Structure 1
């Protein structure tokens, strides 16, 4: 079963950059990784003019693109569930989730400003640690704190956390 870890933060907090760097580090350590991104506002678009986009725009319910190095699946679905998607990729080692900050899975809080830090207090119960490029700010949720550039340290923390978890 894959270990699910979320990255909670608000726009421009550094979530995508942090996850991308962690994917590289965790792949280097030999793990198989999935990344799921929450598009809460429905902004995701297929590439303009691509055949798959044409099929989506003409109303296909599912479009599967098979390439020499992967599969891209687009499926229309009312209120898709995170749990359903996590189950589909349970055969991997880790699933990093960007967004879904109100869901109950464990998360690392990510912020770059005091305002973003304050907004994270609403999801503090599910936070395991925080990552920021601000100077250390007091107890900061009384959680382990990492600099956004400390990719090795964050990766070590993730490994240790899931090693110590009882399922």
Structure 2
């Protein structure tokens, strides 16, 4: 069981996922919601730099290092890639957590399709957790709700209704 209300944004590389997540965060915040995000990267991630004190702490063998500044902090943990559930368990409560990536996880998602999709297959055909499509033109092969990629307000309305989140 996932302790947060989550909704995912998925799609192939360069489909516009990050742009949609960014615009959805701004829309939900404008509506008064608290929003967190989780982004999956397909490469090693390091927010630290060689030579910094926190980097030296990790290099010395610390399993977890908290880097704390005046307006934000980051906690870096040395471990194999965690599950989405493990990441969500570490987040503070929020009205909504938007998840970018994590295609194989079992949360509701909207598939973003690029204007020039090329020869990439539609993800929705093989993934029952995809509950809507965001694309520049209505997809012919699906019965799922469709939104234009730039209709952020309508997509936000759909997500809120889908998760039964009352307006703050």
Question: TM range, normalised to the smaller chain?
Answer: 0.7 to 0.9
- Partner of 2:155: helix, strand, or coil? helix
Assess if the C-alpha contact under 8 Å between 1:111 and 1:117 holds in 2: no
Higher helix share: 1
C-alpha distance in 1 between matches for 2:147 and 2:157? 11
Distance change (3 Å), C-alpha of 1:72 and 1:27: same
1:65 aligns with 2:47: no
Matches within 5 A, 1:47-126: 47-48=48-49, 50-89=52-91, 91-112=93-114, 113-115=116-118, 118-121=121-124, 123-126=126-129
What runs of 5+ residues in structure 1 fail to find an aligned partner?
A: none
Cα RMSD (Å): 2.2
Aligned to 1:131: 134
C-alpha distance in 1 between matches for 2:48 and 2:148? 34
Distance change (3 Å), C-alpha of 1:154 and 1:29: same
Q: Paired residue for 1:37, among 12, 36, 39?
A: 39
Aligned to 1:162: 163
Number of positions where the alignment pairs a residue of Structure 1 with one of Structure 2:
161
TM-score normalised by L of structure 2: 0.84
Runs of 4+ displaced beyond 4 Å: none
